[in-house]
Amino acid sequence: HEILNRGPFVSGPLSLWRFESVGSAIPAGVELPDGPVWYDDEPTPPPSVERDGEVAIIHFHDVARFRIDFAERLITGFDIDHDTEECVITHILHDHIAPRLLAEMGNLVLHASTVRFGDGVALFLGETGAGKSTLATHLHQAGHRLLGDDAVTVSPGAHGYVAQVVYPSLRLFPEAIARLFDTATETSPMADYSDKQNVHLPEVIEAAEMPLPLLATFFLSGDCGATAAVVKPMDSTRACIKLVEQSFTLDARDPLCASRRLAAVSQMAQGVPAYSLSYPHDFARLGEVHAVIETTLNALRPDPAARRQENLVQ
């Protein structure tokens, strides 16, 4: 197989990393660990990780393995199934490996849709199928810039927390694309095992790379039976649990990484307002959801008179 040598990540802290593929071959010196046998009638297991010093191997079952060399900043794809399409490799690199690398480098990385409201951003988190991307797209069309719908890094800033998307993205199911866009919208397959499509919006691709103040987090309940759009404050303990569930890590078995991640989400849960958000999963009623979100965020903003007084004091 011809080796492809390129930088998979265009910008950001991973821009210096390289990727090469040796196809279905096994690189010299790589010994594959004896792992469990998975059968077709079992649910797809999460990626397994084997770590040896500065080298880790991630196994995406039935698809491919990736050798990560932290010292060389090199990712090598190997043992790739012959039927695996290139879009699947791209999807794995951007949506699975990149967030895990950033987490291993000490970042708090969350799985969330990121939408800009004025000079700050709000994060929308929830289980797969909860509607994060659909809601974020509708907010974007209402005038609030969608920055990304997958991974976002969160860190303490000078005046609170700031957030920055790992890369600009939007993935939607065909039904949502048909309801939210016209037929001229450019799309491409996300992966051959999913019906989701990458939606190519120039204004999302051109999203600002600078970190922006984090205003609030909204955890989508995924309750399809909700009869109204309701936002409820969430206490920091519950928010911490939810943030752990929606955060990335390279190896969940590593106790040091787990301890670091728990400390980071605990501090974030105490420093960023969190809310639960339930609403009818009805395209025609998404405007109601916008209204409750905007009302919630507006209530967090300082009163203009108080802000002017604060500036005078400073």
pLDDT at 37: 47
In sign, the C-alpha dihedral spanning 25, 29, 30, 33 is positive
pLDDT at 130: 80
Q: What is the dihedral of CA 211, 215, 217, 220, to 10 degrees?
A: -110
Render pLDDT for 76-123 as a digit per residue (tens, 0 to 9). 999 999 988 888 998 999 999 999 999 998 999 999 999 999 989 999
Contact 274, 217 (CB under 8 A): yes
pLDDT at 77: 93
pLDDT at 205: 54
Task: Using alpha carbons, select from 212, 211, 216 the residue that is nearest to residue 269.
Answer: 216
pLDDT at 242: 95
Helix axes 286-300, 132-141, angle to 10 degrees: 80
| Tokens of residue 291, six digits | 């209204």
Task: Using alpha carbons, select from 48, 231, 208 the residue that is nearest to residue 121.
Answer: 208
pLDDT at 162: 96
Query: DSSP for the chain?
Result: -PPEEE-S--SSTTTT-EEEE-TTS--TT----------TTSPPPPPEEEEETTEEEEEETTTEEEEEETTTTEEEEES--TT--HHHHHHHIIIIIHHHHHHHTT-EEEE-EEEEETTEEEEEE-STTSSHHHHHHHHHHTTPPEEESSEEEEEEETTEEEEEESS---EE-HHHHHHHS-TT-EEEES-TT---EEEE-HHHHT---S-EEEEEEEEE---TT--S-EEEE--HHHHHHHHHHTB--S-TT-HHHHHHHHHHHHHHHHHS-EEEEE----GGGHHHHHHHHHHHHHHHSPPHHHHHHHHHH-
Cα-only R_g, the chain: 21
Residues lower than pLDDT 70 in the chain = 1-7, 10-11, 33-45, 183, 203-209, 222-224, 302-314
pLDDT at 274: 97
Burial of 121 (0-12, 13-18, 19+ CB in 10 A): buried
- For residue 117, the cross-strand partners are 120
CB-based contacts of 261, cutoff 8 Å, min separation 6: 103, 108, 244, 247, 249
| Tokens of residue 299, six digits | 């209530």
Model-wide pTM > 0.95: no
